[in-house]
Amino acid sequence: MLVIPIKYFLISPYRSVLRYQESLFAKALAAKENNEAVNPVLIVCQHHPVYTLGKHGKMVHLLGDPSHLGAEFVQVNRGGDITFHGPGQMVVYPILDLDALKIGIAQYVYQLEETAIETLRHFEIYAERSKGHPGVWVGESKIAAVGIKVSRGITMHGMALNVNTDLSFFNFIVPCGIPQKNVTSMAEILGRKQNMVDVFSAFKYSFEKIFNVKTV
């Protein structure tokens, strides 16, 4: 069974975690090219307020000046459009070799979404996929966003689950480039803030089960 170390950061600047991701991604690619074993890592963090725009995203989906909101703006090389990261949101960045897991990109995205769905089920929130729209939804509202990059089977970027996120930040973008759709959080659905450690514990259990791995 594949063993994956977890690197946990408290509320951290987006760019610093991105640089760390990129360094691990580069090392994984180099190992793969040299036919060496890839060292997987699961980064778990929260971010200072930041809007990120994927490589195929549209600037028109940013509806205001992020600096006026106390947020950064960063263009990144993941898939997907624009989204928000901030305190109270659990963000996970798996650096994995899909060949070692014996799955393809579509299955990887499916399993990331399934991990969020099962995590939410621990808290009696019943989420699902929405046809044609990536991520995880509760009714017409998105609760988890997925945006990844894959090169030679190595993954980076990942998934963000709204736990206690300040949803007002989403008013200044067209989230994920999907108009007339809402964003929600666990706190909004359950009517109270959630313990982030409890949410992470549920995520860890679900991730291990769905990906058939062990995290340490």
Judge whether residue 17 has pLDDT over 90: yes
- Sign of the four-CA dihedral 116, 121, 206, 114: negative
Pairing of strands 82-85, 50-53: antiparallel
What type of residue is 67?
S
Tell whether the torsion through CA atoms of 64, 139, 201 and 22 is positive or negative: negative
Share of the chain above pLDDT 90, in %: 74
The residue ranking higher by pLDDT, 60 or 144, is: 144
CA 51/CA 73 separation, integer angstroms: 5
Joined together, the tokens standing for residue 157 give 């970027």
Task: Answer for the pair 136, 127: CB distance below 8 angstroms, yes or no.
Answer: yes
Q: How many whole angstroms separate alpha carbon 188 and alpha carbon 168?
A: 12
How far is the C-alpha of 176 from the C-alpha of 193, rounded, in Å? 24
Q: Catalytic one among 173, 176, 186, 199? A: 176
More confidently predicted of 158 and 73: 158
Cα 8 from Cα 46, distance rounded (Å): 9
Residue from 189, 209, 186 nearest 199 by CA: 186
Distance, CA of 36 to CA of 59 (rounded, Å): 40
User: What is the tens place of the pLDDT at every residue in 163-196?
Assistant: 999 999 988 877 665 666 789 999 999 999 999 9
Q: Is 45 a catalytic residue?
A: no
Q: What is the C-alpha to C-alpha distance for residues 171 and 174, in angstroms, rounded to an integer?
A: 8
pLDDT at 151: 96
**Mean confidence (pLDDT) of the chain:** 92
Lowest mean pLDDT among 68-77, 81-90, 102-111, 198-207: 68-77
Per-residue confidence (pLDDT) for residue 177, from 0 to 100: 59
Model confidence pLDDT, tens digit, residues 87-143? 999 999 999 999 999 999 999 999 999 999 999 999 999 999 988 788 999 998 999
What percent of the chain stands above pLDDT 70? 97
Residue 43 reports pLDDT greater than 90: yes
